[in-house]
Amino acid sequence: MGRETRNRVPRHVAVIMDGNGRWAKRRAMPRHAGHRAGVKSARRTVEACGRSGVEVLTLFAFSSENWKRPPSEVGALMRLFLEGLEREVDDLHRNGVRVRFIGDRACLAAELVSRMEDAERLTAANEGLVLVIAVAYGGRWDILQATRSLADEVAAGRLEAAAISEADFASRLQLHGLPDPDLLIRTGGETRISNFLLWNLAYTECYFTPCLWPDFDEREFAAALSSFAGAERRYGLTPDQIETPGLAGA
């Protein structure tokens, strides 16, 4: 039986932070104002995870599809991301948070990549919450780059194709070394996963809320945790098997 089954707190929470633009529009504000408000919500969620005993928090900050947005919005998002790194990383470090980025860094500006790497180095030895930020990330891209890595190993004669295991594949995904998400939260009212962590979300409990991301607060987070606590996680087993000692978590 896994740790999350015993005390009903998810080890790993993933969040699709949706609704910044709509939040701003309802207030007759520019879209970038919604993104700035969303940064405050991200900070609240990091703090709530730390208090709740969550070990890993993954935030979907910028998807591979987001490049299709208007250039002015993309530019504003990238500037906001840089500002956020400069403003937040030292505080995260002081609180023992380890920062990790996932996504296609080849798509990003050199200055941004440099700041990301600085943040990872600064916090690498921290033993508190692991904060994973997905930037220029797409689930299909993640699977494709893992497949190419395995194909290179086979072509070089270092690996037999028939011997490739799920563990081999998972070790080449962006979240390698971390547990798969137990709980996915999506704000903004949409009920899809939008090309996020396609492999890793196979058995994740999903919580969808109409709350727009800038309005997502500790009460909303507690409601998501409560929903997770009431879920029966069977991993393909029957309810009777779950209740049988030695079978749960198989």
Which pair of tokens denotes residue 232?
């029966």
Q: Which of 7, 20, 66, 91 is catalytic?
A: 66
Q: Is 152 a catalytic residue?
A: no
Q: Using CA of residue 240, residue 201, residue 198, residue 166, what is the dihedral sign? A: negative
Per DSSP bridges, beta strands 130-137 and 98-102 are parallel
Contacts of 151 (CB under 8 A, 6+ apart): none
Question: 3-state class of 163 per DSSP?
Answer: helix
Q: Is 240 a catalytic residue?
A: no
Q: Which of 18, 142, 180, 182 is catalytic?
A: 18
Distance, CA of 188 to CA of 183 (rounded, Å):
17
User: Catalytic site residues?
Assistant: 18, 66
